[in-house]
Amino acid sequence: MHNLHLKFDHHQRSTLRPASGHTSPSMMDMLQWVLHGVEDAVQVITIGRVARESPPMFSFNMNSSQRMGAEDGRFFSQLTHLRSLRLDCALANIHTMACPLLQQCLINLPQLHDLVLSCNSLDAKDLEALEPAWRHLPALQSLDLGGNAFKGDAACSMAIALSPQWSQSTEDSGYELFKDYRAIWGLTRLEHLKLSILRRCHLPFQLETDFYYTALKGMRFSLRSLDVSGHAWLDWNYATDFAKALTCLKHTLQHLTLMACLQNLPLESVTMIATAVSGLERLQSIDLSDNIISASSMGVLGPSLGCLHTTLRSLNLSYNRDLLSEDGASHVSDALIKLTGLTYLGMSEVSGLSAGVQQLRVLTPSLAALTKLECLNLICSAFLTEKITISVLAPALRQLSALTQLVVGYHFKHDKAHLVDLADNESSAVLAVMSEAILHMPACKLR
């Protein structure tokens, strides 16, 4: 037996009821019972939300007769092949009690490559509680801290953690304030960092305006993937800070997710970030979805994207419902005509007030030039009307040969002011036109 992936979630947890007069087993008791004899086979452990009344995460039932030395960490040290520990919402109700115990767990997992601590309501004190563990994770390559309300001292903690040499310089300069907040200091091999804010969490989140540069400049030799989705930057200072951080990552960053980040920024700030993006020498994918990108914003983003023509393989412009208004289609076309190496293009829920056949016809040659494109996502986009499909989309599809997925599913939303909602007869006509257009690609699936 090998390559075990063990998963606990709140549905499974809720079905466990202790017999009358017995103490409820903790999550660690259950793990120990399930893994007994196969400790060296498990590679991934995923734990979801735990009920509020449950024993603290990572604690053992003191009455258990099979604790196997758990109090000194021997249980975790037996998980010699564990590579990924995923705790999504697992600590949300009990994080204050759980973090000191999690620290002991992590100290005994030096081989860990992937750690997920998303949506756990973590704050500055929790990061401080975990501080001794980070230096014991020399192999950690991916860290997900998304969905936590980091602000104030926690933001400072993260910055010092990811920039150990900056931490030393502040000590040398006499800034005693920072000595107590080395929350995740020492993660020198980290390649993937996720700090996204999920809308469903509804967290009061406000970063310091100098957070990004301070936090990320120490990772300029290692960071490959960065996700800051949902960080709705408010003004020029945020844009300046993030642009400086991107400049530090110009030689290493390959994947950048900026979903719902640019919505509140003025054009001059978008220009600043666009300029920094254009300098990312190894960037392979960028997600610009849900940013209310207008024609004017696309006018500055487009040329920057075009500068990435030798490396960029994935571009997501979905959920920008005014993208094709005014000259937006022309700006998108100017960018796509240079990005002939794209294998994925996301344009779901992309539309515009003036997005008719005449305005969108400019996109036909640029879409046709994407000869390496494997997946095109057009769900609920302006392309899905019979006239536009016939005049704009179908001629481009006939020129493509590598396409394997054309995603056009008719799962229409309630916001009919912006989205295309077709009658059944027109839906059938659109599908018929697209089916004919991809006949020369037998491997292409229309879904």
Note the pLDDT tens digit of each residue in 206-221: 566 677 877 777 777 7
| DSSP assignment of 339-394 | -TT-SEEE-TT---TT-SHHHHTTHHHHHHT-TT--EEE-TT-TT-SHHHIIIIIH
335 burial class (0-12, 13-18, 19+ CB within 10 angstroms)?
A: buried
3-state secondary structure of 255: strand
Contact criterion met (CB below 8 Å) for 197 and 144 = no
Q: Is residue 164 scored above 60 in pLDDT?
A: no
Comparing 244 with 184, the larger pLDDT belongs to 244
pLDDT digits (tens, 9 = 90+) for 374-398: 999 999 999 999 999 999 999 999 9
pLDDT digits (tens, 9 = 90+) for 324-367: 988 999 999 999 999 999 999 999 999 886 668 888 999 999 99
pLDDT digits (tens, 9 = 90+) for 21-71: 455 667 777 777 787 778 888 999 998 876 665 655 666 665 554 544 445
Non-local CB neighbours of 30 within 8 Å, separated by 6+ positions: 8, 16
pLDDT digits (tens, 9 = 90+) for 299-308: 999 999 999 9
- What pLDDT sits at residue 154? 56
How many residues appear in the chain? 447
- What pLDDT sits at residue 328? 93
User: What torsion, rounded to 10 degrees, do the Cα atoms 262, 267, 269, 270 define?
Assistant: 50
Task: Let me know if residue 321 belongs to a domain.
Answer: yes
Task: Let me know if residue 334 belongs to a domain.
Answer: yes
Task: Let me know if residue 375 belongs to a domain.
Answer: yes
Q: What is the CATH number of the domain that holds 401?
A: 3.80.10.10
**Range of the structural domain that residue 342 is part of:** 293-447
Contact criterion met (CB below 8 Å) for 225 and 254 = yes
Task: Let me know if residue 246 belongs to a domain.
Answer: no
The mean pLDDT of 230-243, rounded to a whole number, is 86
- What pLDDT sits at residue 281? 97
Task: Let me know if residue 256 belongs to a domain.
Answer: no
3-state secondary structure of 142: strand
The mean pLDDT value of the chain amounts to: 80
Per-residue pLDDT band at 153 (split at 50, 70, 90): low
Q: Which of 271, 118, 99 lies closest to 192 in space, CA to CA? A: 118
Q: Is residue 103 scored above 80 in pLDDT?
A: yes
- Residue 142 — φ and ψ, nearest 5°? -135, 130
Owner of token pair 């602000």: 151
- What pLDDT sits at residue 238? 86
State how many domains the chain has.
1
CA distances from 383 to 77, 101, 208, 257 (A): 55, 53, 41, 25
pLDDT digits (tens, 9 = 90+) for 239-266: 999 999 999 999 999 999 999 999 989 9
pTM of the predicted protein model: 0.82
Q: Which two tokens stand for residue 246?
A: 């991107």
Contact criterion met (CB below 8 Å) for 120 and 94 = no
Crossing angle of the two packed helices 328-336 and 295-306, in degrees rounded to 10: 10
| Cα dihedral across residues 390, 395, 401, 407: positive or negative | negative
Q: Which of 387, 324, 389 lies closest to 359 in space, CA to CA? A: 324
Contact criterion met (CB below 8 Å) for 96 and 67 = no
Task: Let me know if residue 335 belongs to a domain.
Answer: yes
| CA–CA gap between residue 308 and residue 87 (Å, rounded) | 35
Residue type, 211: F
Percent of the chain, pLDDT > 70?
72
Per-residue pLDDT band at 160 (split at 50, 70, 90): low
Task: Let me know if residue 403 belongs to a domain.
Answer: yes
| CA–CA gap between residue 112 and residue 82 (Å, rounded) | 6
| CA–CA gap between residue 133 and residue 187 (Å, rounded) | 10
**Would strands 42-47 and 84-87 be described as parallel, antiparallel, or unpaired?**
parallel
| Lowest model confidence (mean pLDDT) among 128-142, 191-205, 242-256, 406-420 | 406-420
Task: Let me know if residue 300 belongs to a domain.
Answer: yes
